[in-house]
Structures are given as C-alpha cells and as structure tokens.
Amino acid sequence: MTTFKIISFIAIVSLILEVQALTSTNKLKDKLTSKYLDLKYKTSTKIDEMKEKTVENVDEMKENTADNIDKLKKKSSEKINDLKDLTSEKVEDLKDKTSTQFNKVKKNSVEMKKFGWANTDKQQIDELNRVLKKYSITTNLRVWHFLSQVAKESELGKYTIELGSKEYCSKYEFDTKIGKELGNTESGDGYKFKGAGYIQMTGRYNYQKFADFIYDQKVMNGFEYVSAVYPWECAGILI
C-alpha cells in the first residue's frame, strides 16, 4: 500500500512537472510571438517612414534639379545671345575691313594689260576680282603672289588648258609614278584630268577635291569643262 502511494505520488509529480514544462513552453512561444510581432510592426513602421522620407527627398531633389536646369538654361541662353552679338559685330567689322582692303587691291583692265595679261575683257577681270575677294586674297603681297603663280602656269593667261596630246599626257596615267601622285586611278585619267584653268589644275584627286568644294560634280567631266567654267575659281582654291 505504501509502495503504491509512493508510485502514485511520483506519477502525479511527473505529470505536474510535464504540465509546468508545457505551460512554460507555451509562455515562451507566446513571448517570442509577441516579440516577433512587435519587431515586425516596428520594422514596418521604420520602412514606411524611410519610404516617406525617400519620396520627400526625391521630390526635393527633383525641384532642385529643375531649378538648376532652368538657371543653367537661362545662363546658357544669355551666353549664346552675347556670343551671337559679339560674333555678328566681329563679322560685320571683318566684312568692312575686308571690303575696304579689297578696294585697295582689286584689279582693272588697265593694270592687267600693264601686267601683260592676255585676256583683259570686263568679264574676265570681274571674275578675277570676285575670286580674289572670295578667297580673301586681299593684300598686295597675296594678290601678286596669286597673279605670279597663274601667270607662270598659263603663260600670262594665254592658256586655260595644258598643251599636250593623249600621248604626251600618258606620263600622267594611273600606272605611272606621277599619275599615282595625282590620284589617277583609271586608264585615260592622264588626258581627261590634265592641266585646266589659269593654275593648270591637274589630276583626278585635285579635280575631285575642287568638285566637292564647289558642289559641282560636272567638274569630273574633265579639263574642257573646268577651263570653260572655272578658269579663275580653281586657282583661288588651290593657291
């Protein structure tokens, strides 16, 4: 009987301990759950606050950026307008100076006859002066350098086409050293692109360069076209 009581007592104590342990575990679970929920709430609140601050900062940055862009645009516009005014003034001043300077050096038929030039009709002299002005050949030194060059190449304006047959111009063919230096690439280029104009412009390379510059690809038709249409012009660009 006594042994039974002892065993029963032990069983009851064990049961009580198990119940207490289970109760403690549940309390711990509840406590952990409570802490987790509290932490989750605080974290969520912090995240919301951070989002709100970030949005505010972004909006503020947008406003500042927009203000800075507007200020920069205004300053740039003012600078551009100032530069335009200054450039316009300088261009006008340069035009006046160039015009005044050119009037001192422009040529007439009498001067060109004294120089020994072969063709001194009005059309030729007007074209000469147009080219001198266009290419800023407006000082005495530059004018006489220009005239000396064209006089030598054309024998004082007697020739606007290089004298020489196809046989003579074979030295300019694409497979010769001179022809390669002149940029000739096809058979017949030597004769087709022989000297033309008062400067005796020669070679496919120079013809193409001139054609591109004046936006006239008819120049590539050859020496006859250049000598008839641009006798002075090709000299202006090459000298």
pLDDT confidence of residue 27: 63
pLDDT of the chain along its 239 residues, tens only? 566 556 665 666 566 666 566 666 666 566 667 666 766 677 777 777 777 777 777 777 777 777 778 777 777 777 777 666 666 666 565 555 555 655 666 788 888 998 899 989 999 999 999 999 999 898 889 999 999 999 999 999 999 999 989 999 999 999 999 999 999 999 999 999 999 999 999 999 999 999 999 999 999 999 999 999 999 999 998 87
Q: Over the range 89-110, which residues count as b (16 or more CB within 10 Å of their CB) and which as e?
A: eeeeeeeeeeeeebeebbbeee
| Contact partners, residue 181, CB within 8 Å, separation at least 6 | 203
Cα distance between residue 149 and residue 144, in whole Å? 8
